[in-house]
Amino acid sequence: MYHDILRCPLVALVWTAQLLATPASAQRAQPPRIPPAIYATTNYGLTFTVPTGLTYCPLPPGWLGSDHGTVLFLTPPAQCGGAGYPSSSRAFEPDFVPAISLYYGHNTVDEEDAPSPSPCNKVGEIQFLGAPRPICEERESAEVRLVVQNRYQVVAAGDAEAVFTLVTTADRLVRDRPVFVAAAANLRTCSFVLRGVGAKKRTRWGVGPSCLADGRWF
């Protein structure tokens, strides 16, 4: 089935959704893979070091969609399938697998126009994209969800939002939370150089130190 981080463009409105119940077997099933050591998106100027021991479901050949993040599994799924339009939506089986998701997107709503944020059951705080941010917890039956989020600057004139989410079970939370916190805490903004087609002019995009050359988007 598809799993995704659905984002409304508001600072503190986040939820994890299980999307269309499409079996991975119907989406050209393939095994999960070991991810590159460093994740980087030059579309949104973000990078982080991937914790060891995780896996991911690769985007299928010919995928058409938009860069909005990825999913890292704390235990490998049995198989991977396709992906939705946002890259943060991956199909896999079984339906539930403990995972860490990163979602990001441009912020399209001014703070003064945003409704009141959803209540946060604060269970901790970490430095996330340059500021202390609360870790919010949600529980439903045996499932536990931790969420941390923040706005950040992509270019001088615009900002985006990034959301890290852990989905696990109550009995795994003690061992999965440190992995989630380590990944979220080392997420940072980065910059890179755009070269115009047929032009010598170069434009620097993003904020902060350069994105590492060996960083990969997946």
- Helices (runs of H) and strands (runs of E) counted in the chain: 1, 15
Query: Is 215 contained in some domain?
Result: no
Q: What is the pLDDT of residues 48-89, one digit of tens each?
A: 999 999 999 999 888 999 999 999 999 999 999 989 999 999
Query: Is 213 contained in some domain?
Result: no
Q: Are 71 and 57 in contact (CB under 8 A)?
A: yes
Cα–Cα distance measured from residue 96 to residue 116, given in angstroms and rounded to the nearest whole number = 31
Q: What is the pLDDT of residues 172-197, one digit of tens each?
A: 999 999 999 999 999 999 987 776 66
Domain that holds residue 100: 2-206
Whether 8 has a pLDDT exceeding 50, the answer reads: no
Query: Is 214 contained in some domain?
Result: no
Q: What is the pLDDT of residues 9-19, one digit of tens each?
A: 333 233 333 33
- The DSSP code for 111 is G
Query: Is 13 contained in some domain?
Result: yes
Long-range contacts of residues 107-111, Cβ cutoff 8 Å, at least 24 apart: 107/9, 107/11, 107/151, 107/158, 107/159, 107/160, 107/161, 108/9, 109/9, 109/10, 111/11
Q: Are 56 and 83 in contact (CB under 8 A)?
A: no
Closest CA to 73 of 24, 28, 113: 24
Global pTM? Answer: 0.83
**Cβ atoms within 10 Å of 120's Cβ, excluding its own:** 16
Query: Is 218 contained in some domain?
Result: no
How many domains is the chain built from?
1
Query: Is 216 contained in some domain?
Result: no
Residue 202: the pLDDT is: 72
Label the pairing between strands 2-7 and 131-140: unpaired
Q: Which residue has the higher pLDDT, 133 or 206?
A: 133
Query: Is 123 contained in some domain?
Result: yes
